[in-house]
Amino acid sequence: MLGGAQSCIAAFQLLTRLPFRVSVPYTEAVLSRSVAFYPLVGAVIGGILAVAGWLLERGLPPLPGGMILLAVWVYLTGALHLDGLMDMADGLLSHRSRERMLEIMKDSRVGAMGVIVGALVLLLKGSMAASLLGEGDWGRIAPYLIGIPLWSRWWMAMAVGCWPYARQEPGMGASLRGVRAAHLLVATMIAGLLSWTVLLGFGHAPLAAVCEACAMATVAGFAGWAMARQMAGKLGGLTGDTYGALCELTETALLLALLLASYQGWLVA
């Protein structure tokens, strides 16, 4: 199997519960190249969510529909990123030394701050999903919803490559130390092309699709950079848990931006 195909499959196996039952070697080279395919993974997740939302809009009221859509969202990732968010919250919000924070984050047990932050993020995402379903125009919302997991995983790739790994000991996050600028460039190209193509597929004009894709990238980049900078400042770098936390929090920021744009009437009809 070609290296690119192995890395693409590895990205899906690592970030989703989708049944890619193919054995690939989890070497540093394969895992580093897999980062380039993170936006593609996000686009597939977003496509599944768009179809689920379309069905839920027609079969259920907005509130239960939004909660089910959120459950599908969490299931598709196996709660991997949510687990990272909760571990990150336990560590960084403990206000201990750098070494102690990293130790707390490595503990498999979840503390009070992790539960609180995890619950708040889920409640916020679920309520926003319900509000979007309640608008009754899912065809207008769907292309942007596909873009949310796409651009959040693009930022996760950027975070992997732009900040040092905070831990010294080996682990899954340490296996991504081989990520280079070329991998990030490919991830950016894939993200931009996929986002633009999705918007075109939903009837948006080519120039408008470019502007909308750039707007999503800007929200993801700005929000993600601000959060990654704070995390890295406290930890001396990033870890696997913070990658997951950044994905969850960037998704939340993009979802909030989508709801605001829809509420203000800024979306393309």
| Tokens 């990123």 -> residue | 81
Q: Exposed (0-12), middle (13-18) or buried (19+): which is 188, by Cβ within 10 Å?
A: middle
Structure tokens at 186: 């490919």
- Model pLDDT for residues 6-61, shown as the tens digit of each residue: 999 999 999 999 998 889 999 999 999 999 999 999 999 999 999 999 999 999 99
- Model pLDDT for residues 85-127, shown as the tens digit of each residue: 999 999 999 989 999 999 999 998 999 999 999 999 999 999 9
3-class DSSP state of 136: coil
Backbone angles phi, psi at 216, to 5 degrees: -65, -40
130 confidence band (pLDDT: 50, 70, 90): very high
Q: Exposed (0-12), middle (13-18) or buried (19+): which is 111, by Cβ within 10 Å?
A: middle
3-class DSSP state of 166: coil
- Model pLDDT for residues 231-243, shown as the tens digit of each residue: 999 999 999 999 9
Q: Are the CB atoms for 202 and 137 separated by under 8 Å?
A: no
Taking alpha carbons only, the member of 51, 1, 54 closest to residue 30 is: 1
Q: Is the pLDDT assigned to residue 1 strictly greater than 60?
A: no
As a whole-number percent, the residues of the chain with pLDDT over 90 amount to 88
Specify the pLDDT at position 269: 62
Please report, to the nearest 10 degrees, the dihedral formed by the alpha carbons of residues 223, 224, 228, 230 taken in order: 10
Helices (H), the chain: 3-15, 28-34, 38-59, 62-77, 80-92, 98-106, 112-133, 138-162, 181-201, 206-235, 240-264
Q: What's the N-to-C CA distance of the chain in angstroms? A: 43
Specify the pLDDT at position 2: 65
Would you kindly state where each structural domain of the chain is located, as residue ranges?
3-264
Specify the pLDDT at position 268: 75
According to DSSP, the residues that pair with 238 across neighbouring strands are 165
What is the rounded average pLDDT of the residues 135-143?
A: 94
- Model pLDDT for residues 181-220, shown as the tens digit of each residue: 999 999 999 999 999 999 999 999 999 999 999 999 999 9
- Model pLDDT for residues 144-169, shown as the tens digit of each residue: 999 999 999 999 999 999 999 998 87
Entry pTM:
0.96
The type of residue at 75 is: Y
